A and B are shown apart, each in its own frame.
Chain A
Amino acid sequence: MYIELHARSAFSFLEGASLPEELAALCKELGMPSMAVLDRDGFYGSPRFHLAAQKEGIRAHIGAEVTSESGWRYPLLVTSRGGYQNLCRLITRMKLRAPKGEGAVTPAEVTEHATGLICLTGGDEGPLAHALANGGVECATECIRGLCESFGAENVYIELQRHLCREEEARNQAAIEIARKMHLPLLATNGVCQAQPRQRELLDVFTCIRHHRTLSTAGRLLARNSERHLKSPQEMLRLFSDLPEAIANTKGLASRLKFELSDLGYKFPNYPVPDGKPQIHFLRERTFEGMIGRYGTDNEDARAQIDRELALIEKLELAGYFLIVWDIVQFCKQRNILVQGRGSAANSAVCYALGITAVDPIKMKLLFERFLSENRGEWPDIDLDLPSGDQRERAIQYVYERYGKLGAAMTANVITYRGRSAAREIGKVLSFEPEMLDRLSSLVGGWEFKNEHDTLPQYFQDAGLDLNHQLIRKFLQLCTAVQDLPRHLGQHSGGMVVCQGHLDSVVPLEPAAIPGRVVVQWDKEDCAGMGIVKVDLLGLGMMAVLEESIQLIRNDYQEEVDLAHLPPDDKTVYAALQKADTVGMFQIESRAQMSCLPRLQPKCFYDIVVQVAIIRPGPIVGEMVNPYLKRRQKREAVDCLHPDLEPVLGRTLGIPLFQEQLLRMAMITAGFSGGDAEELRRALGFKRSERRMKEIETKLRLGMEKKGITPGVQEKIIRSITSFALYGFPESHAASFALLAYASAYLKCHYLAAFTAAMLNNQPMGFYNAATLVKDAQRHGLRVRPIDITCSEWLCTLEKAEKEPGGFFLRLGLRYVKGLREEVGKQIAIERAAKPFASIEDLKLRVPRLHKSEMAALAAIGALNFITGRRGMHRREALWQIERTARRPGPLLELSQGGEMSRPQDHSTIGSTQSSAVSPLAPMTTEERLVADFHGTGMTVGPHPMAFRRVEMRQKGIRCAGELGTIPDGSPVRIAGSVIARQRPGTAKGFVFLSMEDETGIANAIITPQLFEQNRATIIHNQFLLVEGILQNLDNVISVKAKSIAPLLITRAETASHDFH
């Protein structure tokens, strides 16, 4: 019997070529009862290996290779929980004092943490090989003696590896000699770096990436052969036929490795309750306080639900968790940081009462079990949405402060090789030129929809690469093989884990790229798999927009808006939604959402919840959208499939739209338990598998059979459930998002200037770019003023305008000047606040960090036009002046030029001098201004480029977007505009959707796959298009089904589009 006790997974980052799951599966296949994965300086792959091993029915031994100060590595195996904790602490200590990706341990530290660990002498990179290379057998004997002193002689094994290499075998003979002399056991391992021999190619590629070499220059850095794969016990027996004890010892050592990751010893911290009360009492008090605020004192339903939830929380000993989340929410509220819980937490009345969530689960009849279930044996998951940026960082830092550096950490995010990164790195290794790499990486990825022509070979053909070339073939193979293998460890955007005691005893910690942060070695899935509770503090752009809008409304409108108390049935909001006038509104602004809104005609909050959930891949692919809309419009009868399902499906008119409904359907019709339903949910989740879906389908059929459901109905139910295999929203999540959607719609409808300013200040976010947001706001009557150095701040601001309908102008901020650095922009605003600038010269003197290129950018967009006063100058005058300012002569020359500039510190005189310098340049033409605006800011606050050509367009029979509603369905039309979005969604079978903007609004064109293929280049590369086709008006959802497409030359301005993939 042989057990592999020294293997690296791909989580040794560029030193292993196989995923832990692959190793576990092969281990099982080869008949080994257990195996050890020792990743470099961490337990990065251990959770996945542990879970995969559990699934395969084998044992996963835990260990790591730890880098020593001398450069070699201790291969360490864990025997007990104490040993695991020691190794975690050792790695954490080493990592936290060194830059990311570096660090080494001292012999003293190793001795200090040696309890519960077994040390092998390693292969090429182990202590024995290092000592032999540096001082021969004598030095090696000394080294082994040192290991015996640190770990105890009974915990040191002399490791032998045989990769059919002469030098290695010579080393083995020396090792055997030392082992015999010191009476130490021999241990055969294969120093595995890959599961299969063929993966050696990938390993060589990783070696090149690690050493910044190419395959042709890496030389002997590459592997000598392909022998470092996981070998069968028979093969290893054959290799070590002369040393049977080395094989036998693997079994003996494996039996000593008692520790498994399921014995992690993780405990969630207790919340420090005042007066030493039990946590659950304190939680009950806070919950009932909150309940009175939310439900009043006489809501029996709420009371009963909260009692039920608290009883379960007490039983599962989760009071501390709820209190800690409540504590974070309290912190945010005290500091006016908007915070809202989302996800399944919104199913909990306790969370609602505590103020963690804003959705009333009782009113919405949400399923509490979806959040917390006694049977599930899983920690609840609460996600908190916070405004992205500084506010979220404040909340994160609060958690660090509260639980200490070693008590809280961010979860990791494993960065894997994906299409573009894989193509780029492998191309480099194969010595492709940078230009070719750019071309390839821009090709790979592409749009979401993949037809039979969208294959990697096709991309290469398009890029002019010869597929018959050996290098290209290898490139293709490697790109495919490397997909999803880990590249390096990043930091998750918001997942935090906290721990009772020291987190560094549970999982090694590392410094994060952001100062002051530490990150655990596992990603959030692994943490969840290991039963570690996490709190997600997620940054949401729309939260930042809402927060900033409220602030602007408070400061400029002198009004207070409380998002928790918005009028629930605002007519203006619903009117806008029904017209699909939703540009900028959270979750309901996309083209697909807009094409659904006029048919759904939302009239109440629950309609928005449905609207948010319905345009998702699940309902779309499951073909549930149209039946739902038809039933809503009373064009189709409501059918709940089975009378028992009426309570579940009734409010969505018999169509399952939410995850909870599917779970309940399974529970009611097939008698699924909570655990079964949870398994179904997982099968429907992100990491879905066909095989699991089939298993569940069989189970569903059996269950329904027992309940006597007829085969026809069975089929319908199965289809409803399985077609949901693509991701759909849970109802609670949709409700949380719907709240934000309503809030954003309310602010847009009633405080357009503030909302637009906040949207512009938080770009990039959402579906549309800033230019489209500005044009939409202008069409709604907002006056947007251009960037002006005399009054623009860094951010967009509001300016009082008594005569304006909304009462405010929007002034574009300096942040929209392309190429202007933020610190310089802010410095301009500060200096101007102290005293207005008198001239360009004055500006340059007072903001000396302003580069010439930045001044030119400001001048080109007209931001300097009024610097010398309201009389103003044209853009080229400013451009003329800045060139001189940027090349100011020295003071001596200035004096010699007649003393005009003799007192440069007297800023007021500078202005007059400069303004008198007359520019010989002609003012910009309209077209030039348009070009400069788009080039310099990505937008124009003047007329839309199409407006300048409207007369000509009319002569060509081109209709504008605003008038399409008046044209009968089925009429042939011509439309034209700047393309603001190109979409080729995976759910649309190759159809392409274009959103084209003109001065009156946005028109949508639908392009068939055939037409797209014929006009691919025209559609992708042209900013302005002319589309001719048939107008479709389906319940006021207007689009043009394209018959022909042609490029249109409207302007040279660089308008931009959002192309979705």
Chain B
Amino acid sequence: MVFAAIYILDFSVQAAIRVEPSLRDSAVALVDGVPPQVKVVAANGRAFQAGTELGMARNVADQFESVQIRPRSHLHEKAAHAALLDFGWSISPRIEDTAPDTIVIDLAGLSSLFGSQENIARRLLQQIVALGLTAHIAIASNIDAAIHAARGFSGITLIPSGEESKHLGSLPVGVLRPSPETLDTLELWGVRTCEALAALPVLQLSERLGQEGVRLHEWAQGAGARSLVLADPATCFEEGIVLEDSVEELEPLSFLLGRLLDQLCMRLTARSLAISIIRLRFSLDPSGREDVQRRGNSNISARLKKKSSVFETAISLPVPIRDSKLLLKLLRLKLQSDPPQAPIQKIFVAAEPAKPRALQADLFLPSSPHAEKVELIIARLANLVGDSNIGSPHLLDTHHPDAFCMDHFTPAGAEPKAPQRKKPLKSNRPYWGVKPEIEKPALGFRMFRPSLPASVHLQEGLPKSVLIRGTHGKVIGASGPWRTSGDWWREDNWHQDEWDLEIRFQLPSDPLEIHSASRPQHGLYRFHFDSLQRKWFVRGIYD
């Protein structure tokens, strides 16, 4: 048995370079964190040489002009890992997913195709380079020896059977990846190389370091034999396509998407699975972005990050689906409402699998539309009104008047375990409550969204008259100001004075067109003065 271990050096950085191959010969540092605390989390050798250090703040790292700074992307790393596994599976069905940066391939039978081990290794290396990754490859008859040699030696390493110990001897014990505690112990012992570790008597070592000691000793000697731990087939299904010519129009894109979705659904069907989340990722052509913008293709704001050359979107489905046509419709609607702003170079469609729904309709419940249909309707509506304007409203825990957000609308019963939003914080200030017997009839309140601009004339600090949409009104009664302010630590802080005003309009028609002609033209309104904008608005009307 012969195995090849493939190890990707600086995996995070390479994952980023894989998405952006132009960086291959550059000094690259990856940053992560929430602004303003973004810092360097990984870098390649060139970046270290240029002076970058791990933990360095983003704006400090920016000072090294030769270093390209990119945000760390777990998606890229996942994709790179998936690509590595895909590569493995393209070689042999027997592969081991050892670590995100390491896989082992069983080379049995390959010699008849590719010749000597060295040839196989070269070929593997070439193919990996074609994938956009740089790897170290070690071939040995011992799986672990191959792994450790790949981590310790650059390029290609061939270890003849029986010479593992000799080859591994000079490597630091760190390549064996012992537990931190054991590494400390070995350091205290002065055991720093595999050779030194291999020289220790194994029985005594086992008495001291237990099974881990025996295992490390075995690895250091290049001894021991274990079977390959075969990688489970993928649990996240992804299909991708790299386009020769960038796609700019929705129709050809739909065609390609349909093909990918068909493939995905077929794979899922074979494993009796369906899709719970469908993710779409496009690699964009940054040079084409300006053209697209110039042509004014986008009339709905896209959430494309300015510096990003990747477009991502996802649809979370209320029930697992594997109807490729339905999925295509949903994706089309999504892309219509939120299109990428540059030509597309690569398309990735990933599906998160789930067990398909096996549900029988309840005889005693009124019939309701299928969840799939509801989802389609919501997607259509979202396409019309925008994502942020559809769903279930949810009040936010803030003093800001009318602060709410839209949650995804989920029909009752469609999602038995819908994620529960945390209950709003209970204020430490007791809310004044009264017993029902003295409670006055509640007033209804209709809110204008957005608030209507108005002008208010004040006399001695009290509103006397108002002007709304060119119509004057006289203030008959006023209550206020009711003052709220907040978010003072943010750029979008706010400060408002609300007034409840009883107004009699001077014209026969209600400028807000709320009251019918038969009703008296006066009413109780809520106004607010935005102290930062220095403007008055009508927030709503009491019924």
Contact = CB atoms under 8 A, between A and B. Distances in A.
Interface of A: 124-125, 129-130, 132-138, 163-168, 170-171, 174, 200-201, 204, 211, 215, 217-222, 224-227, 430-433, 435-436, 463-466, 469-472, 474, 856, 860, 876, 879-880, 883-884, 887, 889, 917, 920-922, 924, 928, 932
Nearest to A136: B435
B200 A920 contact: yes
B428 interface: yes
Given A215-B489, A887-B207, A129 B432 contact: yes
Given A164-B482, A166-B482, A222-B399, A174 B434 contact: yes
> What DSSP secondary structure best describes chain A's contact surface?
helix
A163 B58 CA distance: 44
A644 B398 CA distance: 73
B334 interface: no
B56 interface: yes
B204 A219 contact: no
A167 B431 contact: yes
Contact of A464 (B56, B190, B485): B56
Contacts of B434: 132, 136-137, 174
B438 A137 contact: yes
A224 B199 contact: no
A201 B485 CA distance: 11
A463 B37 CA distance: 10
Q: Please give me the 6 A-B residue pairs with the lowest Cβ-Cβ distance, nearest first.
A: A464-B57, A219-B397, A883-B208, A136-B435, A164-B483, A133-B430
Contacts of B58: 464
Contact of A879 (B60, B189, B209): B189
Most chain A CB within 10 A, of B208, B430, B491, is at B430
Nearest to B59: A464
Contact of A220 (B200, B398, B435, B490): B398
Given A219-B425, A430-B489, 20 more contacts: A124-B429, A125-B429, A132-B432, A132-B434, A136-B433, A164-B481, A165-B483, A174-B434, A220-B425, A222-B399, A465-B57, A472-B36, A474-B489, A856-B185, A879-B188, A887-B210, A889-B207, A920-B204, A921-B190, A922-B190
Contacts of A471: 36, 489-490
Residue of B39, B485, B489 contacting most chain A CB atoms (<10 Å) = B489
Contacts of A168: 432
Contacts of A922: 190
B59 A466 contact: yes
A167 B432 contact: yes
A353 to B, nearest CB: 60
Contacts of A435: 37, 39, 55
Contacts of B489: 201, 215, 430, 470-471, 474
B486 interface: yes
Contacts of B397: 219-220
Nearest to B496: A225
Interface residues of B, number: 53
A470 B430 contact: no
Nearest to B56: A464
Contacts of A135: 435
Contact of A432 (B37, B201, B490): B37
B191 interface: yes
Nearest to B492: A470
Contacts of B480: 164
A136 B39 contact: no
A133 B397 CA distance: 20
A217 B424 CA distance: 10
Interface in B460-505: 480-486, 488-491, 497
A921 B58 CA distance: 45
A460 to B, nearest CB: 10
Contacts of B190: 876, 921-922, 924, 928
B189 A136 contact: no
Nearest to B396: A219
B35 interface: yes
Contact of B39 (A219, A431, A464, A880): A464
Given A133-B433, A883-B185, A221 B427 contact: yes
B432 A171 contact: yes
19 contacts: A125-B429, A134-B433, A136-B435, A137-B435, A163-B483, A170-B432, A220-B397, A220-B424, A433-B34, A470-B489, A470-B491, A856-B185, A880-B204, A883-B207, A884-B207, A889-B207, A920-B204, A924-B190, A932-B188
A136 B432 CA distance: 8
Interface of B: 33-37, 39, 55-60, 185, 188-191, 199-201, 204, 207-210, 396-399, 424-425, 427-435, 438, 480-486, 488-491, 497
A466 B483 contact: no
A287 to B, nearest CB: 60
Contacts of A221: 425, 427-428
Nearest to A436: B37
B81 to A, nearest CB: 26
B429 A464 contact: no
B430 A130 contact: yes
Given A924-B190, A928-B190, A917 B432 contact: no
B60 A201 contact: no
B158 to A, nearest CB: 31
Contacts of A225: 399, 483-485
A166 B189 CA distance: 73
Contacts of B427: 219-221
B344 to A, nearest CB: 34
A452 B534 CA distance: 40
A134 B433 CA distance: 7
Contact of A224 (B188, B201, B399): B399
A371 to B, nearest CB: 51
A457 B425 CA distance: 35
A215 B201 CA distance: 59
Contact of B399 (A220, A431, A917): A220
Given A218-B425, A469-B35, A138 B435 contact: yes
Contacts of A463: 57
Contacts of B430: 124, 129-130, 133
B534 to A, nearest CB: 18
Contacts of B396: 219
Contacts of A432: 37
A168 B397 CA distance: 19
A217 B489 CA distance: 13
Given A137-B438, A224-B399, A165 B482 contact: yes
A222 B438 CA distance: 30
Contacts of A217: 425
A201 B482 CA distance: 19
A150 B141 CA distance: 91
Contacts of A227: 483
B34 A226 contact: no
Given A168-B432, A472-B36, A219 B398 contact: yes
Contacts of B56: 464
Contact of A469 (B36, B208, B429, B484): B36
Nearest to B61: A464
A215 B425 CA distance: 13
Contact of A465 (B33, B36, B200, B399): B36
